[in-house]
Structure 1
Amino acid sequence: MVRGDGRAARERPATTAIAAAALLAGALAGCTDQAGGDGTGGGEAGRGGTLRIVGASDPDHLDPASGYTFASLSLSRMFARPLFRTGSSNTFEETIPLRPDVARELPTRGNGGISADGRTYTIRLRDGVRWNTRPPREVTAADYVRGLKRLCSPAAPSGGQGYYRSTIAGMAAYCAAYAKVNGGDARAMADFQNGHDIAGLKAKDDRTLVVRLDRPAGDMLDILGLQFATAAPREYDRYVPDGPEFRRNTISNGPYQITRYTPGTTIVLDRNPAWRADTDPLRAAHVDRIQITLGQASPDGVQQQLEQGTADLAWDSPVPVAALNRLRAAGDPRLAIRRSPSLSPFLVFNLQSPNNDRALADRRVRQAIAYAIDRSALVKIYGGPDVAEPLHQVIPPGNVGHRRHDPYPTPGGRGDPARCRSLLAAAGRDGGLTLRLPYRSGGNNPRVAQSVQANLAACGVTAQLIADGNGTFYGRTLVTPSAARAGSWDVAVPNWSPDWYGNNGRSVIQPLFDGRTYGPNSTNYGAYDNAEVNSLIDRALQAERPADADALWHAADRLIMADAAVVPFLSPNFPIFRSHRVRDARFIPTIQAYDYAQVRLAP
């Protein structure tokens, strides 16, 4: 979800991230927050109260191992703790450095946490972090081993598993074997996990986790700090991962616990009585309850509730453009525009689709469609040039490997339907194509889909729009290979935000375009597979010098764009609104949300 680089100082990960922050600050100097702040003024605020969040859809997954939308990541941060984590802040650069969470400290060569060859990490857990079991018990290193094993469950394989398969010794072989287990049988999956070890993962004792890598990886701590890599209690062996029974029985080691979940309707989190503030340096947990009300399909309706004060934060709905313009004109302090460089949205092609006699497998057809897109119209949909800038390459600004280049230029960025038509004719496809285009029904997504539909119609291509929910769009539609091979969709418009900033070269190219990771729940939605791109990924991940890695990521970007595997649309900033009650609203760029654990409520 979705880039600076700092490989020169591997033994000092925090310093690396701060150096990368400085690089990103320069790259993004022209992009500033507007009309907002942290909401600290105007009335006393303290501990207590219910934070009311409203939105449209269920999260894609409730299981932290597989959740991969902004909504699910915001939620699982409240009840599932990784070893390391980044903080929240309204200053973008302050959100980049990695910090210890359940780990006592960041491993370095100096403190013995990273071996001299850079391939072994020894991570010591802090005392007193407890599960909310009866009775409460401490989180152990074995729980982290279990959590990492669950990333490859055949029931709900993690979209982020490629990060771990490509780094941890033995993980790829383990995942390949696990994929053959019956994903509907909780006992069979638990037996496999408990009966098969991963060579690179070992709980040395209850407080010490040892991770061995196939080769050095300067971003390994960032990977272990992702929300996928949280601990899993042994009780999770009873349930099919992310199945209905699992969703009714989540267990927490964070400040909040899910006390009620009604699919499509309500999620309620209350304080976790087993959580201790002195064991958690990153979460404040001011409110007593977090209540998420779903089924609010209209962004305008959500915005109205926030402005009227009957709700506090939006769950998965953006600020509507009409409201955005009105609030900016009024200088409303509840509105902020935060920096969050991303590939959002972009058009992806289903390269396996049998429709139209496999037209989308032909690079010439994809290149023709790349010329059709009117980015100027998309900028207007998102609220204008201060909110979104056109994007013509895969890697967004401010990320390692980014270079401005436009392989499919059009006049004024408005699209070129005549060029699209001529290229389709040259490819022998001038008889017209009909493409199935599923789209998320919330936010700006319907208008984006309609804009794309109009662009394609202008060059003789028919797009059949298919409404979809945010959770099912990411949880089923795009990530089910059998449906893709059957032609259930041809093109789609997802978003992608880097999973971390700083030393994050692999956080765009690898999850979206590494053909070796394609399978159930893969975020390589289109099944793109180019051996040369795969080789560049491997070389970039092993590059010793930041400049070498930067050049390799950029080379991969150019190849992907030459193949027209996707059509980038925009790199937006993120407008976000809060109710008048919300204080200490601190932004998390990687999930485009305020940090629920930091919010205070005015009376």
Structure 2
Amino acid sequence: MNTRKVTSALALCLAMALGVSACGGSGGSKASGKKDQALTSIVNASTKKGGTVTADHSSGPDSLDPGNTYYGWVQDFSRLYARTLLTFKPAAGKAGLTVVPDLATGLGTSSPDAKTWTYHLRTGVKFQDGTPVTSKDVKYAIERSNFAPEVMSNGPVYFKSYLADDASYQGPYKDKSANGLASIETPDNQTIVFHLSKPFADFDYLATFSQTAPVEQSKDTGATYVQHIQSTGPYKFASYSEGKGATLVRNPEWSKATDPIRTALPDKYVLKFNINQRTIDNDLMANNLTVDLQGTGVEAETQSKILGNKNQLSHTDDAIAGATSYMALNLHVAPFDNIECRKAVQYAVDKTSVVNAEGGAVKGDVASTLLPPSVNGYTKFDEYPTAGNNGDVAKAKAALAACGKPNGFTTTLTARSDRQPEVDGATAIQAALKKVGITVNIKTFPSDKYFSNYAGVPDYVHSHDVGMMMMAWGADWPTGYGFLDQIVDGGAIKPSGGNNLMELNDPKINQALASAISNTDAAARTKAWGDIDKMVMQNASVVPLIYRKNLLYRPSSATNVTVTQAYLGMYDFLLMGSSK
């Protein structure tokens, strides 16, 4: 399958098997498909090489460096230039949740106790400069991304948390020894072995992260590596401009013979950052743009236009994002160090008004749990029920009295300035809390700096009395652990770029997470995730708001369009092409 040339006839068979709406083997159908068709099939299928994919974003990435990112859309998009040990299968529907080999020849081989994991790399894979990729390059990539927070601050630290000798290792920029991290062995150029301090049953999911994309140590310049990323995928950077955009072109050192996953049909990708969301929406509807990189759907004004137009509606997919929008209450900012004050907010928030402010039912359903229904381990419950999800003033005031603030208090709520629905949701919360005497001052910041400079920086949060923060989170991988760990485990609290915005560090929750992921019994793990979700909600530091959906728009020139649940219900950038 690695080297087979796809013929038009074969493409037709594949298309029929996947249930796609049209085959464009000779060049990209103009058919737009039907509403929600890309949720389970491939729309506007094509096998034609060529064309330019144009992609805009209302803000920009935290970083396009595969080792320094935590944004879902970057994880999705980076697969075009950064191959990882494993990845999610580029396919329609549930098949897109399947983990498949990428750089590796197969899935990981685990010891019986799930503490040792071994992968074997394909031969013949090269960097864009022609240098062969080795297991040492994968090891170095993990060392720089997980053990150098002074340089790589944005990504998760799962490897650091689970590798056996993380305590003494200072990262490759400080530790100049030839051996590096002892818990990752590279006995030969094609083998990499991970030795963990404790069992980790989900390790194959971790191997899909962009942090396992190899990096040549001789080419690494730390924080500025993003300016000259060395590609291992079918595309390389022709240009990159911070805050403005990037252009990717074909990488001549990539070979289909070593890559059974990527079709690499487009000739070029042109990315633009900091484009007004309304402009992006209008360009999509005018067929002047291939895709919105952010993947969170059109804004409210555009949505209202689309919902009243049958033709425009046929271009949309109301994708379940596998994500929850919530408000984090910081446990170290008064008065939220008092659980009764946190409960007051739980009861005061009018969740129905938040859903309506953010776009109504098409944008999602009222949430009562942190885990969304689409994630393994979800259990339906509500610790703070109110009639019609409209808030309960009496219960909120009783909680305020219990926390010693009968007349309310003043606090700050942050939101992302380029995500208007999130700002609108914050405004709805502000109005609801005013009814019980809580004054909310809203501060907004751009998405690309939200975690690295503001909400994800404890020093900033504490010094500016930021008690509440708008947040949206999707699973790092589709299990309860993949959803919960980085937002509720105390070990995930970081000096900057953090996602545990509550700064929740409850020993019982930490231990429950560690015990569950160590359990090789899948059914027991699944039950544990729901139990941990209840523990978090009983702490009252998270106010669930919306189980998110995103109204995505696919223009008629976009080909091979399908939604991937592996990347938060956005379009699969690895498959998408353009007839232009």
TM-score range, shorter chain: 0.7 to 0.9
Aligned match of 1:208 in 191, 201, 218? Answer: 191
Does 2:138 align with 1:167? no
Partner of 2:231: 252
Partner of 1:305: 283
Partner of 2:360: 384
Q: How does 1:179-328 map to 2 (within 5 A)?
A: 189-192=172-175, 194=177, 197-237=180-220, 239-240=221-222, 243=223, 245-297=224-276, 299-316=277-294, 318-328=297-307
- 2:375 aligned counterpart, secondary structure: coil
Does 2:342 align with 1:347? no
Provide the C-alpha distance between the structure 1 equivalents of 2:340 and 2:63, rounded to a whole number of angstroms: 36
Residues 408 and 469 of structure 1: is their aligned pair in 2 closer, same or farther, counting only changes over 3 Å? same
Provide the C-alpha distance between the structure 1 equivalents of 2:237 and 2:89, rounded to a whole number of angstroms: 22
> What amino acid does structure 1 have at the position aligned with 2:380?
R
- 1:337 aligned counterpart, secondary structure: strand
- What RMSD, in angstroms, separates the aligned Cα atoms of the two structures? 2.2
Residues 420 and 434 of structure 1: is their aligned pair in 2 closer, same or farther, counting only changes over 3 Å? same
- 1:495 aligned counterpart, secondary structure: strand
Task: Report the CA distance between 1:272 and its aligned residue.
Answer: 1.4
Structure 2: segments with no counterpart, 5+ residues: 1-33
Task: Report the CA distance between 1:34 and its aligned residue.
Answer: 4.2
Aligned match of 1:138 in 132, 135, 139? Answer: 132
Aligned match of 2:56 in 54, 78, 82? Answer: 54
Task: Report the CA distance between 1:334 and its aligned residue.
Answer: 1.6
Aligned match of 2:455 in 467, 471, 478? Answer: 478
Residues 352 and 235 of structure 1: is their aligned pair in 2 closer, same or farther, counting only changes over 3 Å? farther
Instruction: Please say if residues 45 and 602 of structure 1, whose CA atoms lie closer than 8 Å, have aligned partners that are also in contact.
Output: no
Task: Report the CA distance between 1:536 and its aligned residue.
Answer: 0.8
Instruction: Please say if residues 243 and 274 of structure 2, whose CA atoms lie closer than 8 Å, have aligned partners that are also in contact.
Output: yes
Residues 368 and 553 of structure 1: is their aligned pair in 2 closer, same or farther, counting only changes over 3 Å? same
Aligned match of 1:147 in 141, 145, 164? Answer: 141
Structure 1: segments with no counterpart, 5+ residues: 1-32, 108-112, 179-188
Does 2:101 align with 1:100? yes
Partner of 1:540: 516
Partner of 2:410: 434
Q: How does 1:2-151 map to 2 (within 5 A)?
A: 34-37=35-38, 40-41=43-44, 46-91=48-93, 93-107=94-108, 113-133=109-129, 136-150=130-144, 151=146
Partner of 2:30: none
Residues 280 and 381 of structure 1: is their aligned pair in 2 closer, same or farther, counting only changes over 3 Å? farther
- 1:532 aligned counterpart, secondary structure: helix
Kindly tell me the number of residue pairs found equivalent between the two proteins.
538
Instruction: Please say if residues 239 and 247 of structure 2, whose CA atoms lie closer than 8 Å, have aligned partners that are also in contact.
Output: yes
Q: Deviations over 1:124-146 (max 9, x none)?
A: 1001211112xx11111001110
Partner of 1:27: none
Partner of 2:317: 336
Partner of 1:579: 555
Partner of 2:531: 555
> What amino acid does structure 2 have at the position aligned with 1:119?
K
Partner of 1:500: 477
Does 2:427 align with 1:450? yes
Provide the C-alpha distance between the structure 2 equivalents of 1:39 and 1:101, rounded to a whole number of angstroms: 22
Provide the C-alpha distance between the structure 2 equivalents of 1:265 and 1:75, rounded to a whole number of angstroms: 17
Identity over the aligned pairs, expressed in percent? Answer: 23
Task: Report the CA distance between 1:45 and its aligned residue.
Answer: 6.7
Residues 147 and 415 of structure 1: is their aligned pair in 2 closer, same or farther, counting only changes over 3 Å? same
Provide the C-alpha distance between the structure 2 equivalents of 1:140 and 1:319, rounded to a whole number of angstroms: 42
- 2:552 aligned counterpart, secondary structure: strand
Provide the C-alpha distance between the structure 2 equivalents of 1:288 and 1:460, rounded to a whole number of angstroms: 58
Instruction: Please say if residues 348 and 493 of structure 1, whose CA atoms lie closer than 8 Å, have aligned partners that are also in contact.
Output: yes
Q: Deviations over 1:237-281 (max 9, x none)?
A: 4x23xx3x3222211111111221222222211111211122112
Provide the C-alpha distance between the structure 2 equivalents of 1:266 and 1:550, rounded to a whole number of angstroms: 41
Partner of 2:493: 518
Provide the C-alpha distance between the structure 2 equivalents of 1:156 and 1:588, rounded to a whole number of angstroms: 31
Q: Deviations over 1:186-238 (max 9, x none)?
A: xxx5341645632320111111111122233221111111222222211344x
Task: Report the CA distance between 1:421 and its aligned residue.
Answer: 2.3
Partner of 2:398: 422
Provide the C-alpha distance between the structure 1 equivalents of 2:365 and 2:354, rounded to a whole number of angstroms: 9
> What amino acid does structure 2 have at the position aligned with 1:485?
H
Provide the C-alpha distance between the structure 1 equivalents of 2:402 and 2:199, rounded to a whole number of angstroms: 47
Task: Report the CA distance between 1:499 and its aligned residue.
Answer: 1.0
When normalised by structure 1's length, the TM-score is: 0.84
- 1:47 aligned counterpart, secondary structure: coil
Q: Deviations over 1:390-446 (max 9, x none)?
A: 111111113233211111111100112332223112211134322222211223122
Provide the C-alpha distance between the structure 1 equivalents of 2:569 and 2:458, rounded to a whole number of angstroms: 28
Instruction: Please say if residues 159 and 523 of structure 1, whose CA atoms lie closer than 8 Å, have aligned partners that are also in contact.
Output: no
Provide the C-alpha distance between the structure 2 equivalents of 1:311 and 1:247, rounded to a whole number of angstroms: 25
> What amino acid does structure 2 have at the position aligned with 1:566?
V
Residues 137 and 302 of structure 1: is their aligned pair in 2 closer, same or farther, counting only changes over 3 Å? same
